[in-house]
Structure 1
Amino acid sequence: MSDRVADHVTSLVRRLARHLNRKLSDVLTLLFNHKSAGSLGAVAGFAIAVVFVWRFLRSPPARQRRSPPKRRAPIQAADGGGFGAVQMLKESDAGGAIDSPPQLTVRQIVRKKLAGCRKMTCQLLGVILEEKSAEELQKHVTVRLSVVELLLEIAKHCDLYLMETILDDESEERVISALENAGLFQTGGLMKEKVLFCSTVSGRTSFVRQLEADWHIDSDIEIISQLSRFIRNQLYISPMEPGQIAPNVFTSSSLEQYFS
């Protein structure tokens, strides 16, 4: 619209210039024929008008132009486009950062998993120790280092008892010594008096029931099944997935895996 108006104004100015040119010719003719003061004044005024018109023609009105809109440079994804390009564009609009979910600490995980737990009992073999049988304890005892921090945190959260079936007193001494060397008795949460030993599997079941634990952790499916009616929650440690044993029995390949 502004371009059309400017063209129209220019056309009018040019027509006015041609008209003034004709008038100037008439005035000069009149001046030469009638040399008077009035004629001279008319010529001077006409000359001034011509100068203004000439300057106006030398500087035509500038046309307003709309600057083209700025385009955002396309964001290309590593795979060449598709959903990846759209995703990267969204990340760019959001400031180039995507909030990742916060990582929970060991303390937060333990509190969440054992909410309301007052007392926990836990088997040693296959859960806290690398050994899987009482016969192995007669030769060596190895504490799984990956569970040390977790056990210390559980001991802060609830009353923790460890228990195992052994074949001789020497095995008991080896177990206590290995737990102590691993630093499990240094914080005061877990004490030597809370590590219980028995000579039969049924004796471990009796320990759990007498302590009235809220949670029990074991790798023996028979003990888990026997205690499912009496213990609020249990964790069955097994490398295989046995399926649903009972509504209050959870399954995991390891203790740290369940609390990860």
Structure 2
Amino acid sequence: MADYSRENIVLQIRRFGDYLTRKLSNLFPVLDSRSVGAIAGLAVAILFTWRLLRSPSVPQTRQPKRQNPAPGNSGISNPANPNQISSGVSSEVSSAQNVIDELFQPVKPTLGQIVRHRLSEGRKVTCRLLGVILEESTPEELQKQATVKSSVLEVLLEITKYCDLYLMERVLDDESEKKVLGALEDAGIFTSGGIIKDKVLFCSTETGRTSFVRQLEPDWHIDTNPEIISQLSRFIRHQLYIASVKPERPTGNILSSPSLEEFFGCV
């Protein structure tokens, strides 16, 4: 019976540890399983130590005079019932779970944590401008105007905090290049983020943009051209394909999203 009670106590503690691990995983998705397990184990140890220390101590009293044992009684008190001990531990675990439920309410991770998690701690990112950072989608439109998406600014600035970011685009003339740089400057990208004008690259062909990416060897490349995405799949570790429709045959190193901001859960 004692062995059964001991096994039941260990089982209750393990169940509580698993319960706490699941809670921590939901609250902090950016942490790996080892970190969550270590935190959960520490929390279990602290919690049960606290419960032990807060248990009221038995006050010392004067021992009563020894009385003769009644007939048929050996005079030895019966040990605590193992089932009662197991039941008490189960009750403590249930109470502890209630405390955890109240203490660990769902916490939404910050945008910075999401960016680092989704980019898999990548340190260098290349990204095209048209259709991703800019409202315009063709080089011809850039001859008239260039407009930075307001919805992408927060994500873009968070990326620059953790990554070396290069922006690039194909333009048809020097005036288009000036319009793009002016739009980026007006949006505060050069002053608020970690981007300098030298990291905004221009070329006259799509092949030129592919060459830029190959030379920079980024951890991530972001593009809207499926042909460039396909060509770079053998050379770039991760790619993000920005398109309204998911590719029919995505490969393991290519993710897709309707927009950069949606990829990071900002929409």
For Structure 1 versus Structure 2, the TM-score category normalised by the shorter chain is: 0.5 to 0.7
User: In the alignment, which residue of structure 1 is the partner of 2:72?
Assistant: none
User: In the alignment, which residue of structure 2 is the partner of 1:236?
Assistant: 241
Tell me the distance in 1 between the aligned counterparts of 2:193 and 2:224.
Answer: 26
Find 2:144's aligned residue among 139, 144, 147: 139
Tell me the distance in 2 between the aligned counterparts of 1:142 and 1:189.
Answer: 20
**1:255 paired to 2:246:** no
Q: Report SS of the residue matched to 2:190.
A: coil
Could you report, residue by residue, the CA deviation over 1:84-125 in whole angstroms, capped at 9, with x for unpaired residues?
Answer: xxxxxxxxxx79979652111110101111223121000000
RMSD, aligned α-carbons: 1.8
Could you report, residue by residue, the CA deviation over 1:168-188 in whole angstroms, capped at 9, with x for unpaired residues?
Answer: 000000000000000101135
Could you report, residue by residue, the CA deviation over 1:41-61 in whole angstroms, capped at 9, with x for unpaired residues?
Answer: xxxxxxxxxxxxxxxxxxxxx
User: In the alignment, which residue of structure 1 is the partner of 2:156?
Assistant: 151
User: In the alignment, which residue of structure 1 is the partner of 2:165?
Assistant: 160
| 1:225–1:245 CA contact under 8 A, matched in 2 | no
**1:124 paired to 2:124:** no
Q: TM-score, normalised by structure 2?
A: 0.60
Tell me the distance in 2 between the aligned counterparts of 1:102 and 1:243.
Answer: 35
Closer/same/farther in 2, CA of residues 151 and 188 from structure 1, 3 Å limit: closer
Tell me the distance in 1 between the aligned counterparts of 2:161 and 2:201.
Answer: 19
Tell me the distance in 2 between the aligned counterparts of 1:145 and 1:97.
Answer: 38
| 1:117–1:214 CA contact under 8 A, matched in 2 | yes
User: In the alignment, which residue of structure 2 is the partner of 1:76?
Assistant: none
User: In the alignment, which residue of structure 2 is the partner of 1:103?
Assistant: 108
Could you report, residue by residue, the CA deviation over 1:65-91 in whole angstroms, capped at 9, with x for unpaired residues?
Answer: xxxxxxxxxxxxxxxxxxxxxxxxxxx
Structure 1 residue 246, shift from structure 2 partner: 1.2
Tell me the distance in 2 between the aligned counterparts of 1:172 and 1:122.
Answer: 16
Could you report, residue by residue, the CA deviation over 1:126-170 in whole angstroms, capped at 9, with x for unpaired residues?
Answer: 000000100000001110011111111101101000000000000
Where does structure 1 lack aligned partners over 5 or more consecutive residues? 1-93
**1:225 paired to 2:230:** yes
Structure 1 residue 243, shift from structure 2 partner: 3.1
Tell me the distance in 2 between the aligned counterparts of 1:157 and 1:243.
Answer: 32
**1:187 paired to 2:188:** no
Q: Report SS of the residue matched to 2:241.
A: strand
| 1:233–1:249 CA contact under 8 A, matched in 2 | yes
Where does structure 2 lack aligned partners over 5 or more consecutive residues? 1-97
User: Which amino acid in structure 1 is aligned with residue 148 of structure 2?
Assistant: V
User: Which amino acid in structure 2 is aligned with residue 140 of structure 1?
Assistant: Q
| 2:241–2:254 CA contact under 8 A, matched in 1 | yes
- Over 3 Å off, 4+ runs: 94-100
User: Which amino acid in structure 1 is aligned with residue 242 of structure 2?
Assistant: I
Q: TM-score, normalised by structure 1?
A: 0.61
Find 1:215's aligned residue among 190, 200, 220: 220
Closer/same/farther in 2, CA of residues 206 and 103 from structure 1, 3 Å limit: same
Instruction: Output aligned runs, 1:56-71, within 5 Å.
Output: none
| 2:157–2:193 CA contact under 8 A, matched in 1 | no
| 2:240–2:256 CA contact under 8 A, matched in 1 | yes
Could you report, residue by residue, the CA deviation over 1:194-238 in whole angstroms, capped at 9, with x for unpaired residues?
Answer: 000000000000000000111000000000000000000000000
